[in-house]
Structure 1
Amino acid sequence: MTTPTQGRTAVIIGAGPAGLTAAHEFVTRSGIKPVLIEADTQVGGISRTVNYKGNRIDIGGHRFFSKSDRVMDWWANVLPLQSMHEDASSLTISYQNKHRSIDNPTGGADPALTDDVMLVRPRVSRILYLRQFFDYPIKFSLATLAGLGLWRSTKIFFSYARARILPIRPERSLRDFIINRFGAELYATFFRDYTEKVWGVPCEDIPAEWGAQRIKGLSITALLKNALRKLKPQSATISQRNVETSLIERFLYPKHGPGQLWEKVASGVTAKGGELHMQTRVTAVHHDGSRVTAIDVTDASGEQRTITGDYFFSTMPVRDLLQGLIPPAPAAVQAVSDGLTYRDFITVGVLLKRIKLNGGATAANLYDRVPDNWIYVQEPDVKVGRIQIFNNWSPYLVANPDDIWIGLEYFVNEGDDIWSMPDADLTRFAVEELAKLGVSDPDDVKDAVVVRTLKAYPAYFGSYDRFDEVRDYMNRFENLFLVGRNGMHRYNNQDHSMLTAMVAVDGILEGRDTHAELWEINTEQEYHEAKKD
């Protein structure tokens, strides 16, 4: 059964990956007109790209890979894949036990000639701890053991053995979850301090569910299996569906960052008749108890208006959505919503002449010396959590090829000391931390900028243990679909957010209820996250 679509309207709150995916699906598959409402000055949500004097910042870093055929095909249809070198006859993308070859060079795009291209990029991430590099994820190699020293290595081995023999039961917290898979010593060495830096609370206060979703099947056993797998000859695959997400080593990446793709999607939506209203905030959501009927919005000039529609998609934070409901949600549901918490995010972009790591590097030899996309800063004496090296994501993110462009990432709460620092003070603070870590000297800094992002990470603590009350209440609205990371208060990756939008649109066009199905996406069920045999 299909649903008639001509003359109908879908009001979509938020022009991030989920909202823009829904809009794209509507304009390419139906007669439903999408009307996008975006509070920011640019599209993409947390997947936007901030342009500072030609130097581009990827907020939080976005590797384009998915274990979903549908998402991989979708991306490739928006931006063609990079053509490979002349000595490669084709580029094979393999996932879900399927393989697709793209002829080279005619089957791909040349980034030297066009901006509309998905680059093929290597994944390199390491941990900075004890002022030296360790592989991320940790590998059981001579280099790792030498870096840790005999005493630490011995304690790690015996604590892992103890965890396997006497696991913590029941698993209530993230601490329990990690110790059961890695042992208490490795947890204390490489997990505890960084995780608490990210979330701002002890690991004992974070439920084990977070680990099940984000750390997934990763364990010492998985690391050993992956090491053995590398001994076999490898094909030129990008999306490795049989490899844990944290171990994937090649990915796609838009030439000018993730925002480039979403800006192109937005242009395609408006070209096909969709509407996009920027700098427009939702102030109220009206409903009759079973259906949403309209939303009130206010634009940058202060003008207020009401928008009606047949379908409504929300990617705005759940807490804000419920606060705007008219009539209001029941008191118990509202209390759970009000207790949901978020972690905010700051990126300090720093332009450098050179860096000091691994004997020192300029832009010319940067990849040879420091090939990392991210450096996870495990050091407890600094506040920075990660350092992005934008040159290594894409050389086209940097305006001057002789510069090194990095981003220091701080996990904060709105209103705390770091969030509230004036930009000039925060820049000085970041530059001092770079010097303290031995990354760069202050004299090598050419420029810097501060970018703040609210509600970047929905948290799995606060009142989250009762979130099903909010979900069940919102599911009663038959024409309202909560999608995306903040829309579902779920730590979705970009591809998971897209899938929620796709499934919601599928249901509308096919005349079936997909509300329950949406919440099964990114629950690590086999058909979403594991290799099918």
Structure 2
Amino acid sequence: MTSPRSPLIIGAGPAGLTAALELMNRGVTPRLYEASAEVGGLARTPTDGDWRIDPGGHRFFTRNEDIMDLWKCLLPHDQWLVVGRRSAMLVGGYYVRYPLLGRDLLTQMGYRRGLRGLSSLAWSRLKRNFRLNDRDENFRQWGVGEFGRHWYEMFFDGYVRKTWLTEPEHLTSDWANQRIKPIGWRRSHDSDPASRDVFRYPRLGPGQLWEAAAGTLAHNGVVPRLNSPVTKLGFDGATWTLELADGDTATGDAVFSSMPLRLLVDALEPAPPKHIRAVAAALRHRSLITVAVGVDTRRDIPFNWVYTPGKDFHCGRIQNYRRWSNDLAPRDFDGAFLGFEYFIAPNGDLWNADDEHLTELVTQDLRTLGLGGAAVARVMIVRCEFAYPIYDPVRDRSVVRIRDYLRQQYPSLYPMGRNGMHHYDNQDHAMLSAMRSVGRAFGENVDPWQVNTDIGYHEYGLLRK
């Protein structure tokens, strides 16, 4: 039996594709519009021949059984790898494991530095005990209280300035509580406690999963329309009309949107009140440019991610793709395959830089890494404009005002996902917000805005083999 519902979905990233799958499972045929030429959003896997890039580093972990079951249904078991998370901070020539381990901090860079850091931590913890309200902390206050001034400035202050493009005092501590694990002090017989933190990963990169999702939809008659940015959303009280950049239109009775929240508000017609448009326009993102480089030297950096907080690197983080999956590089390639991540403001100077300039920049970072003499086999550049929502002090209040206005004026409009809700979500959170948005459209008592609101660290999850 054909459903009379006619929903429209904006965005074919994890949230948009999950919403489409959920609607399809409920007997509804949505129409799906994606601004770019690929599905997957930031979690896509751009390719150049047999070279594949993961532009962000996507670990697949979740605490939600439904999400895990969906992942397993979309990709067969033999296409999943189980990868141990190994990350490090590269500081002063030392690879300091991250999450930070107490014994490394006390010994790896010399006992004098270790004792200085420990005394700084003790003093900061003592002062924090007399603080009345930690929830109002900015990132710097949180970091100094959690790690002590010495270790905070060594590992996090420069990294935040470089990757979030702002002063640490201008960021809230909310995302840090969720993303940054405290120092591990417990002694373990395992020589590397971090190796027990494992996650799933598609053999051909994260985009393999989302391409499989798009394939499942296409098999059931739902084909995402690519290169179709939505420029206007008109609503007459009953029917939605989407206007696309090429002039085409589409009508439906509901809209599920993962486009950036401020762009959604700006595209609504009739236009929302001035104060709503003002708070939406103030929402900020950081963009990401990933420059992937294959070099002929087999440099076995034993980490998936290497964070580079110091000023000697232009990039904020380096990915070691061979630690994710050997199939991201050609089978006959025996060198190092690295991804250098540059975090910038949308439309900033670096965003508009040409490939020649970016190649020169990554060459300097290769030299700093000790690979300046290596022959370069391949360079790939991927740009992501709206990669990460920024958590400034007014974000929470602004998002709540926009959310409440949209719920009151447009009950059949459902923002979802990282950009749609301007919330720093992992893939599973984006998917869960999409599932709950669809459930809410069907009258269920669920709230997609309550996804990923835990205060504490959450980057461990369910792993079933």
1:8 aligns with 2:5: yes
Change beyond 3 A, Cα 1:373–1:352: same
Separation in 2 of the partners of 1:178 and 1:458? 20
Counterpart residue identity of residue 497, structure 1: A
Q: CA deviation at 1:188?
A: 0.8
The alignment of Structure 1 onto Structure 2 pairs a total of residues equal to 455
Out of 279, 294, 319, the position equivalent to 2:262 is 319
Q: Deviations over 1:450-489 (max 9, x none)?
A: 2111010111127424321111112222111111100000
2:200 aligned residue: 252
Distance in 2 of aligned mates of 1:233 and 1:269: 45
Cross-structure match for 1:219: 182
For residues 34 and 52 of structure 2, the distance between their equivalents in structure 1, rounded to whole angstroms, comes to 21
Q: Aligned AA for 1:474? A: L
Deviation at 1:6, TM superposition (A): 1.1
- Relative to structure 1, the CA distance from residue 530 to residue 388 in structure 2 (aligned partners, 3 Å threshold; closer, same or farther) is closer
What is the DSSP-based 3-state SS (H/G/I as helix, E as strand, rest coil) of the residue aligned with 1:126?
strand
1:148 maps to 2:109:
yes
Name 1:294's counterpart in structure 2.
Answer: 241
- Structure-1 separation of matches of 2:222 and 2:432: 20
Please give the alpha-carbon distance, in whole angstroms, between the structure 1 residues aligned to 2:459 and 2:108.
33
Superposed displacement of residue 379, structure 1: 2.0
Structure-2 change in CA distance of 1:417 and 1:458 (3 Å):
same
Give the alignment partner of residue 185 of structure 1, picking from 147, 150, 159.
150
Quote how far apart the aligned CAs of 1:187 are: 0.8
Match of 1:335 among 265, 278, 290: 278
The 1:247–1:120 alpha-carbon spacing in structure 2 relative to 1, beyond 3 Å, is closer
Instruction: Determine the structure 1 residue equivalent to 2:216.
Output: 268
Q: Is the 8 A contact 2:100 2:182 kept in 1?
A: no
d(CA) in 1 for partners of 2:3 and 2:198?
Answer: 42
- CA-to-partner distance for each residue in 1:361-401, whole Å, 9 max, x for gaps? 3xxxx3xxx22111111222221111111111100010133
Structure 1 residues 5 and 176, CA gap change in structure 2 (3 angstroms) = farther
C-alpha separation in 1, matches of 2:265 and 2:394? 14
Structure 2 counterpart of 1:202, one-letter code:
E
| 1:434-457, Cα deviation, whole Å (9 max, x unpaired) | 10232x124422221221110101
Q: 1:36 aligns with which of 32, 44, 47?
A: 32
Aligned to 2:297: 354
CA contact (8 A) 1:38 1:277 kept: yes
2:94 corresponds in structure 1 to: 132
Are the counterparts in 1 of residues 106 and 115 from structure 2 also a CA contact under 8 Å? no
Which residue type is aligned with residue 184 of structure 1? R
Distance 1:445 1:273 in 2: 43
- 1:79-117 deviation line (CA, Å, top 9, x unaligned): 123xxxxxxxxxxxxxxxxxxxxxxxxxxx3xxxxxxx1
Instruction: Select 2:252's aligned residue among 300, 309, 323.
Output: 309
Name the counterpart of 2:398.
466
* Counterpart residue number, 1:387: 318
Q: CA deviation at 1:402?
A: 1.6
CA shift in 2, pair 1:530/1:137, >3 Å: closer
What is the CA distance between 1:513 and its match in structure 2? 4.9
Q: Is the 8 A contact 2:294 2:337 kept in 1?
A: yes
How far apart are residue 529 of structure 1 and its match?
Answer: 7.9
Q: Sort the Cα spacing of 1:232 and 1:201 in 2 relative to 1 into closer, same or farther, 3 A.
A: closer
State the Cα distance separating 1:530 from its structure 2 match.
8.7
Which residue pairs with 1:48 in the alignment? 44
Same amino acid, percent of matched pairs: 36
User: Are positions 1:196 and 2:169 aligned together?
Assistant: no
- Asked if structure 2 preserves the Cα contact closer than 8 Å seen for 1:8 and 1:31, the reply is no
Q: Give the corresponding residue for 1:92.
A: none
Partner of 1:89: none
**1:378 aligns with one of 309, 312, 321:** 309
Task: Report matched runs for 1:105-116 at 5 Å.
Answer: 109=78
TM-score, L = length of structure 1: 0.80
Q: 1:63 touches 1:252 (CA, 8 Å); kept in 2? A: yes
Distance verdict in 2 for CA 1:403–1:443, change over 3 Å: closer
Equivalent residue, structure 2, for 1:433: 365
C-alpha distance in 1 between matches for 2:11 and 2:359: 30
Partner of residue 21 from structure 2, selected from 11, 21, 24:
24
Can you list the C-alpha shifts for 1:163-215, whole angstroms capped at 9, x where unaligned?
A: 22211554431111122222222111111111111111110011122323433
Which whole-Å deviations, capped at 9, do the CAs of 1:234-286 have from their partners, x for residues lacking one?
Answer: 9xxxxxxxx9xx98621111110000110010011121122311100101111
Q: Distance in 2 between matches of 1:189 and 1:252?
A: 31
Residue 206, structure 1, aligned to residue 171, structure 2: yes
> SS of 1:417's equivalent?
coil
Q: Is the 8 A contact 1:13 1:37 kept in 2?
A: yes
Find the aligned partners of 2:260 and 2:358 in 1 and give their Cα distance: 27
Contact 1:427–1:449 (CA under 8 A) maintained in structure 2? no
User: Deviation at 1:46?
Assistant: 0.3
SS in 1 for 2:391: coil
User: Aligned partners of 1:446, 1:8: CA distance in 2, in Å?
Assistant: 51
What is residue 157 of structure 1 aligned with on the other side?
118
- When residues 135 and 525 of structure 1 are mapped into structure 2, their CA distance, relative to the original with a 3 A threshold, is closer
CA distance in 1, matches of 2:393, 2:338: 33
Give deviations 1:28-71, integer Å, cap 9, x for gaps. x2221111100111100000001023110001000111111121
Determine if the alignment matches structure 1 residue 481 to structure 2 residue 414.
yes
Tell whether the 8 Å contact from 1:174 to 1:203 is kept in structure 2 after alignment.
yes
Contact 2:178–2:459 (Cα < 8 Å) also in 1? no
Q: Which runs of 4+ in 1 moved over 6 A?
A: 525-532
- Partner of residue 91, structure 1: none
Contact preservation (8 Å) 1:129, 1:379 = yes
* Contact 2:177 2:456 (8 Å CA) reproduced: no
1:239 matched to which residue of 2? none
Q: Distance in 2 between matches of 1:408 and 1:249?
A: 23
In the alignment, is the contact (CA less than 8 A) between 2:138 and 2:171 conserved in 1? yes
Letter in 1 for 2:240: T
CA RMSD in angstroms, aligned pairs only: 2.5
Would the aligned equivalents of 1:55 and 1:405 in 2 still touch at CA under 8 Å? Answer: no
* Alpha-carbon distance in structure 2 between the residues aligned to 1:77 and 1:327: 41
| Runs of 5+ unmatched residues, structure 2 | none
| Cα shift at 1:157 | 1.1
> How big is each residue's C-alpha offset from its partner over 1:484-506, in whole Å with a ceiling of 9 and x where there is no partner?
10000001011100000111222
Of 520, 527, 531, the match for 2:450? 520
